[in-house]
Amino acid sequence: MGWEAWTTVSVVLLVLGLLAFTRAAPDLIFIGAVTLLITFGVLTPEQAVSGLSNEGVITVGRIEGYAAPRHERALVAGLIFAGMVLAAGMGWLTMLHAAMLAAGFMIICRCCPSAVARASVDWQVLLAIAASFAIGRAMETTGIANAFARTMLEVAGDNPWLALAGVYLLTNLCTELMSNNAAAVLMFPIGLATAATLNVSYMPFAIAIMFAASLGFSTPLGYQTHLMVYGPGGYRFTDFLRMGIPLDLLMGAIAVTLIPLFWPFVPG
């Protein structure tokens, strides 16, 4: 690995340490990390802001008080919501466009005051999500994740069960530090190469990657929805570690045990 890779490793460890042991705002930590990566030439400014283009990420802020529900607009709101689901489900609009259109109709039809709508967007979490995508991009471009994956898979040797467990573990680790899509894209060719080397079916590895990329619970970075509740719920980074690591291990054990039973290494 080159100096860019080691710089990225240092920055990622710094981010995890600050999230785990300080009460600093996550968006400030992430923005500072991305600034360091740009300063050292690991990321370009264009790569750093690429996370802002990820569709479907809309967050709401902490609920500071309680307001009585307005039942007189419930039917209108329900129809708008049903229209959003129908438009997205039928493929007429993307989920982001359908949601934004529905939000606009909610305001136009006075289901939600515009001031309340503006106040509900958690800009700190949005910035944290965008910055986390940039950090994940740095891990990809510097080759850290790829080198780490290949090194750990060598430990599994010729045992397909150990190799499957290694692929699952590495995919899960990657998805905790970058987006689930990036983790799946990174690990899929490695899973295919591992299956080919062992002369077994690629399906168990593909399914394991699919599950592992979607079952990251131990950090707020594991999925956008984690960051959506991170701020409003008043959680700390250690809360995710305490509850998420056992869940990661449990789901991993179940997946690695059952996947080869439904998708055998050597199809009959």
CA–CA gap between residue 147 and residue 31 (Å, rounded): 26
Compute the C-alpha angle 101/134/221, nearest 5°: 75
Burial of 121 (0-12, 13-18, 19+ CB in 10 A): middle
Weakest-pLDDT range from 73-82, 135-144, 183-192, 217-226: 135-144
Q: Structure tokens of 129?
A: 């999500």
Confidence at 60, pLDDT banded by 50, 70, 90: very low
45-52: long-range contacts (C-beta < 8 A, 24 or more apart)? Answer: 47/134, 47/137, 47/138, 47/141, 48/131, 48/134, 48/137, 49/130, 49/134, 50/133, 50/134, 50/137, 51/129, 51/130, 51/131, 51/132, 51/133, 51/134, 51/137, 52/130
CA–CA gap between residue 170 and residue 179 (Å, rounded): 14
Question: What pLDDT is recorded for position 86?
Answer: 93
Please check the confidence at residue 201 and state whether its pLDDT lies above 80: yes
Tell me the mean pLDDT in the region 157-162. 85
Confidence at 42, pLDDT banded by 50, 70, 90: confident
Indicate the Cα dihedral angle 2, 7, 13, 19, nearest 10°.
Answer: -150
Tell me the mean pLDDT in the region 225-229. 74
Range among 120-124, 179-183, 245-249 with highest mean pLDDT value: 245-249
Please check the confidence at residue 239 and state whether its pLDDT lies above 80: yes
pLDDT digits (tens, 9 = 90+) for 139-153: 667 776 566 666 766
Please check the confidence at residue 224 and state whether its pLDDT lies above 50: yes
DSSP state of 218: S
Weakest-pLDDT range from 34-43, 128-137, 184-193: 128-137
Nearest to 201 by CA among 268, 115, 266: 266
